[in-house]
Structure 1
Amino acid sequence: MFATERQREIIELINAKGAAKIGELTERFGVSVETIRRDLLELEKQNSLRRVHGGALRIPRSGEYLDRKERSGKNREKKAELVQYAAELISESDILMVDCGSTAVEFAVMLRERFERLTIITSCLDVFDALKNKESFELYLCSGFYMGRENAFYGPWVLESLERFHADKAILCPSAVSIQYGIMDYDRELCTIQKMMMARAGETVFLADSDKFEKSGFLKIADMKQDCILVTDSGLEEEIYNLYQENQIRVLRGKKDWPKASRVNF
């Protein structure tokens, strides 16, 4: 097989699966590791893929920005699944800062059902409404300018309120995650709040359904670092999951991965 033909097949494979490891490619094409590495380097120069440690990922696709009502009905089962895994990272009496969005609301509903003593800080009215009748919770709503499309508050008063707190964990729900581009979202005002929550918490946990992986957004919330903790559903492609693990990025994805992930200490 000529190099050009092999490289074309590599692109097709990665675009279909989202990712491929070097070992998988050497076995598939019967060539050496050095040959595959040269192929990947050449394809990256052509902007056909992105190399990472251990393999390559497809070029991140632009995520779709939907309004709150559209998002609330999308991937509902995936969100309900992933928040159950996120529950394993929460302890009674934790102080949590919780983001906005449909995943955040699913997370809030899970907290209401599974925990008795928590302190929750949020600027999202949907999260507040999901928790307001849980009398054993201590609930703080940071208010400011009202953003109707997200049913949430934003602006300097919210940021000033957040600065008064220190949380055990910030629970953020980005629109896109990518090894290359990092943790991303779309709204400038809400990204400012997300960054403040990260600054005021001991740990940050990102909740993202599997459709948000290897997508790009408009604004970067954070770099993809080795201390990132991502929680997703069991639908995340095996190839993408493996390369995140290869790059020492912690992803909790489904029950079968939880025993290994649960050894993470906070």
Structure 2
Amino acid sequence: MPLSERQTQILARLQHAGGSLSSSELTDTFGVSVQTIRKDLNELSNQGLVQRVHGGITLPNRNLSFSNRQVINLEAKRAIARAVAASLPEGACIFLGIGTTPQQVALALLDHPGLQVITNNLNAAMTLCHNPRIETLLAGGRVRPSDQDMTGEDTTAFLRRFRVNFGIFGIGGLSARGDLMDFSPEESHISRAIIECSEQRILVADSSKYLRNAPVRSGSLSDVHLYVTESICPSVAALLEQAGTELLCAGSGGVRTASKTGRTARRQEMEP
């Protein structure tokens, strides 16, 4: 069921508020009645996007299903995807990881002149098969129906057989210390395989991932060459500077590159 503009804004505020909001805050913010906000919260709860608690809402204590995550921060994910797709040179070999932002990258690659893509993302593979100039290799393994991807030992072993030019992956959350967090050990193993088998590592994550809770540490920002997001706060900018990671900000004002860091990241000279 499509979300209204107000419901989309409620989800964004919930993410940025650290995962908890009161009904009174929302009625004051949007200038609507308690009954209107209650209806919005009930609809969001029925779709599994929030958890109702006394006096308000919290984020669910587990990752949302793929279909639910697809509607959250969609325009930000599309902007990130367009920026990444435009930077990939013809003939490059890439990993494309799990999640809804990598899926948007796949959609943005539909007009790309040619790539080889290795992925365990079922939606990405189904999208890319519509571009005859892209060779897609889909990893085997255990299918996770709620996430629409492949995981497990076979999946990780398949990815580790390759050495690619660009590894493009998402995360469950980014901690205050710059840790890359995932929701399960299986997801973490996939992230580590991409990080360790890619010449250039590209993290794609919208701004809501900062301070989002996820239990498994997969690495740190120092493992990443390029961080692509739609907007940046001073805390994340400081983490990127400390890690030596380049920032590509793909907000509503178009793509812009923040100050270069100590790491030699080559956004404008990305060659396989």
TM-score by length of 2: 0.67
Alpha-carbon distance between aligned partners in 2 of 1:83 and 1:191, rounded to the nearest angstrom = 22
Deviations 1:185-239 (A, max 9, x none): 10221221221122221121110001112334211111221754211003x33x2
Alpha-carbon distance between aligned partners in 2 of 1:63 and 1:250, rounded to the nearest angstrom = 32
Deviations 1:4-57 (A, max 9, x none): xxxxxxxxxxxx999xxxxxxxxxxxxxxxxxxxxxxxxxxxxxxxxxxxxxxx
Contact 1:116–1:136, Cα closer than 8 Å, also in 2: yes
Deviations 1:51-106 (A, max 9, x none): xxxxxxxxxx9996211111011100010011122234311111011111111110
Q: Secondary structure at the match of 2:222?
A: coil
1:127 to 124, 127, 142: 124
C-alpha distance 17-147 of structure 1, shift in aligned 2 (>3 A): closer
Aligned residues: 206
2:139 aligned with 1:142: yes
Q: Secondary structure at the match of 1:214?
A: coil
**More displaced 10-residue stretch of structure 1: 62-71 or 98-107:** 62-71
Matches within 5 A, 1:12-91: 65-91=63-89
Alpha-carbon distance between aligned partners in 2 of 1:246 and 1:167, rounded to the nearest angstrom = 26
C-alpha distance 193-259 of structure 1, shift in aligned 2 (>3 A): closer
2:238 to 238, 243, 257: 243
C-alpha distance 251-157 of structure 1, shift in aligned 2 (>3 A): same
Contact 2:247–2:257, Cα closer than 8 Å, also in 1: no
Matches within 5 A, 1:172-251: 172-225=169-222, 228-234=225-231, 236-237=232-233, 239-244=234-239, 246-247=241-242, 248-251=244-247
C-alpha distance 76-180 of structure 1, shift in aligned 2 (>3 A): same
C-alpha distance 242-172 of structure 1, shift in aligned 2 (>3 A): closer
Counterpart residue type for residue 249 of structure 2: R
Q: Secondary structure at the match of 1:225?
A: helix
Contact 1:95–1:118, Cα closer than 8 Å, also in 2: yes
Alpha-carbon distance between aligned partners in 2 of 1:259 and 1:253, rounded to the nearest angstrom = 7
Deviations 1:115-144 (A, max 9, x none): 111000011111111111211111101111
1:166 to 156, 163, 170: 163
C-alpha distance 258-136 of structure 1, shift in aligned 2 (>3 A): same
Identity fraction in percent = 19
Q: Secondary structure at the match of 1:174?
A: coil
Structure 1, unaligned runs of 5 or more: 1-15, 19-60
Alpha-carbon distance between aligned partners in 1 of 2:61 and 2:237, rounded to the nearest angstrom = 22
Which residue of structure 2 lines up, in the alignment, with residue 257 of structure 1?
Answer: 256
Q: Per chain length, whose mean CA-contact separation is higher, i.e. which structure has more relative contact order (CA < 8 Å, sep 6+)?
A: 1
Contact 2:175–2:210, Cα closer than 8 Å, also in 1: yes
The CA RMSD measured in Å over matched residues stands at 2.8
Alpha-carbon distance between aligned partners in 2 of 1:204 and 1:161, rounded to the nearest angstrom = 18
Alpha-carbon distance between aligned partners in 2 of 1:94 and 1:105, rounded to the nearest angstrom = 18
Alpha-carbon distance between aligned partners in 2 of 1:224 and 1:249, rounded to the nearest angstrom = 7
C-alpha distance 210-142 of structure 1, shift in aligned 2 (>3 A): same
C-alpha distance 249-143 of structure 1, shift in aligned 2 (>3 A): same
Contact 1:68–1:150, Cα closer than 8 Å, also in 2: yes
Alpha-carbon distance between aligned partners in 2 of 1:232 and 1:105, rounded to the nearest angstrom = 15
Alpha-carbon distance between aligned partners in 2 of 1:17 and 1:74, rounded to the nearest angstrom = 15
Contact 1:98–1:121, Cα closer than 8 Å, also in 2: yes
Counterpart residue type for residue 94 of structure 2: L
